[in-house]
Structures are given as C-alpha cells and as structure tokens.
Structure 1
C-alpha cells in the first residue's frame, strides 16, 4: 500500500468468495499483452481509466476476468450498445475488438476475493449498486477499491455480478497480492481462446459466442 489509505472512518467488513484452484476463467485483452499478464496501466485519479484500476495513490496493476467467454466478451464490448430497430440486435463496432484477444486461463490455486455480488456484500463495504453501475463516476469506484484493499489486506481481488450478462461473474485481480511463493495465479489454456478477434475467423467465432445476447461485431471498414 502507498500509505495514503485508508482515508475514511467507516469500518468495512468485506465478505469473501473463494475461486477454487482449477477454475476456468476468461479474459479479453490487448493482443500485445500475454494472456496472464497484469495490465500495468494506472488510471487517472479523477478521470480516465477502468472502474477498479490502480492509481498513482495506490499503484497496483490489474487483471480483469470473467467466468465464461460470453461474459468476458460482454463486459468488454457491450457497454452502451443499444438494441437497434428493426432487428432488435446490438452492433459492436469493429474497432472495439481490433488488436484484441480472448484468452482462457485456469487458476493455479485458490483466489480469495472480496465479494460484491449482492446487496449484503455491497452493504458489508458500505456501498450499494451504484458502485458497480454508475458509468459517470469511476473515480469513486477506484477510490473505494483502494479502501477495500486497505481494510482487507489478504484479498487478492474483487468479484461482482456482470452488468452485461446478469447472474454471471466478473472479477479483477491485484498484482501486488501475488508475491508469495505459490507462483503466478493463472495458467494459460492456449488451445481455447481466440488469439486475434479482429481476424475473419476470430470475428466469426466471437459472433457465435455473442449470439445469445443478440449482439454481433460489425465487419471492418478500412479507409
């Protein structure tokens, strides 16, 4: 920890969810990153950045995961995508998946995560559903992630219900919680993913996965 947190007087009592060893998880990531590589990018304290990314005040690297290929894709590409008339389908711009990959991984050992899955979990950290659903205030979510980390120093990350594939799970891992002698937390399942979502075959396979959510990636339009 940076020493800047905690910054509140509220006592959090985080609930935990353990992801068992051997669990298959999925991730969409920039193709320049290895499938099991934590994202070293830090978010701006007030503006740009992911919901639960580290900042200069709490500089942890993050790795977002989901419980299925469909959830991983939905969390990555379905934000603010409306159902379009008249077909009632959602079109995902090709640029959203350009130079990105879908990777399958397996946990090497148990992951001890703070649960934000339901109302009682959120109340346990003095929050409600706006922590996960407010698209306009990621800075607050990042701030609260750091508070949770400060008051749950053994937690390896957070887990919550996916907003874009309800009842399924999304999660984030914190790189600085894996410095023990058990090695990296994830094993890459190289034969399961889609190395290039922007390729013709990659886009075809991704659209097959997204079909239950009535969504499809558009064809590329080159200048």
Structure 2
C-alpha cells in the first residue's frame, strides 16, 4: 500500500466475514488472464475503473468473484440492461462475452473479508446503501475502499450483496493481502468452468444459467 491512507478522522469499525477454505467461487474474466490472475490494471483516480479497484494512490491489484456462476455472470453482463418490450426479457450483446471465460476456483485457506452485506456492516464503515448502489461515483467508492483497507489491515478484501442477483454475494480480493505461506489463495477447477463464453457451446451454457433472470446472450452479428 502507498501509505497515503487513512486520510479521514472518522474511526471505522469494520465487521469481518470469513470465507472458509474449500469454498468454491466463480469469476468472469478476459480469457487472456489466467482464472486466478489478479487484474494488474490500476483505475483512474477520478474516472475509469471498477468500484473497488486499486489506484495510483493505493496500488493493489484486484480480483472480483461471486459465490455462484449465475451471480458472476450477472455481475459481468447485466449492468444497465433493460427488459425488452414486449416479451420482458433482456438481450445481452454478444460483445459482453467475446473473449471471456467463466472460471470456478476454490479457496486454499480462510479469507478474512470486510463485510458490507447488512445495514450494520455499512454503518460500521460509515456508509449506507448508496456506497454499493451509486453507479455514478465509483471514484468515491475506490477512495473509501482504501480507507477501509487502512483501518482493517487484516482484511483480504470486501464482500457485499450482488445488485444483479439479490441475496447472493460478490467479493473482491486484494493481491497484497492474499500472499502467504500457503501460496496462491485460489485453486483453479478447470473442469467446472466455461473456457470460451463467446463460442456456441459457451453461449448455450451462459443462457442456461441466465434464464432465471430472464436474460440471454445474443447471437454474434453476421458480416454483411
């Protein structure tokens, strides 16, 4: 970490949640990344980047996961997707899965995360639901993530309720908190995933998973 945080006078009281060793988690990622590879890209301080990405002020790499294959897909492809008239289903553009994979991983050891699941959890870090719901101010969320990291030095990441598949959870891991004597924090289970979501077989599997959320991946556009 950069040492620039904390930058606030508020004393946070983060609640912890432990993900036990042996837990299966899921991830959608660009296929050029290994399933257990942390994203090395740092977010812009003010603009581009994910909600809890590291920045030049707090230089950690991140890895986003979910507790089920459906939630991993939903978090990746259902952002700002309306229900189409008149059928009421959601059509997901093919480009959202092109050159992407769905991977299953298993935790090698317990993961201690700061919980942002309940109202009490959010109050513990002096936030409310806007911290997770506001799509217009990721820069603020990234800054506050660094404040949480600074005041919860044992935390290896964050966990919260998925906005796109309520009652299930999404999480992010910090690379600089996950290295330890046990080695890499995650074991890849290649037989459980989908190596190419853009293939015909991959889209079919994705559509099976997304069916309960009334969503499906569109066919790729034909040239001409």
Please state which band the TM-score falls in when normalised by the shorter chain. Answer: over 0.9
Q: How does 1:135-150 map to 2 (within 5 A)?
A: 135-150=135-150
Residue of structure 1 in register with 2:180 after alignment:
180
Q: Residue 191 of structure 1: SS of its match in structure 2?
A: helix
Structure 1 stretches lacking a partner, 5+ long: none
Aligned to 1:75: 75
RMSD: 0.6
Corresponding position of 1:47: 47
* Cα distance in 2, alignment partners of residues 179 and 25 from structure 1: 18
- Number of aligned residues: 223
Distance of 1:15 and 1:203 partners within structure 2: 38
Cα distance in structure 1, aligned partners of 2:87 and 2:151: 48
TM-score normalised per structure 1: 0.99
After alignment, is 115-124 or 178-187 more displaced? 178-187
Taking structure 2 as the reference length, the TM-score comes to: 0.99
Measure how far apart 1:222 and its partner are. Answer: 4.1
Q: 2:210: which partner in 1?
A: 210
* Superposed displacement of residue 180, structure 1: 2.0
Aligned to 1:12: 12
Q: Could you say what secondary structure the match of 1:27 adopts?
A: strand
Secondary structure (helix, strand or coil) at the match of 1:159 reads: strand
Corresponding position of 1:116: 116
Q: Structure 2: where are the runs of 5+ without partners?
A: none
Question: Following the alignment from structure 1 to structure 2, what is the Cα–Cα distance between the partners of residues 76 and 21?
Answer: 25
Distance in 1 (CA, whole Å) between partners of 2:52 and 2:154 is 17
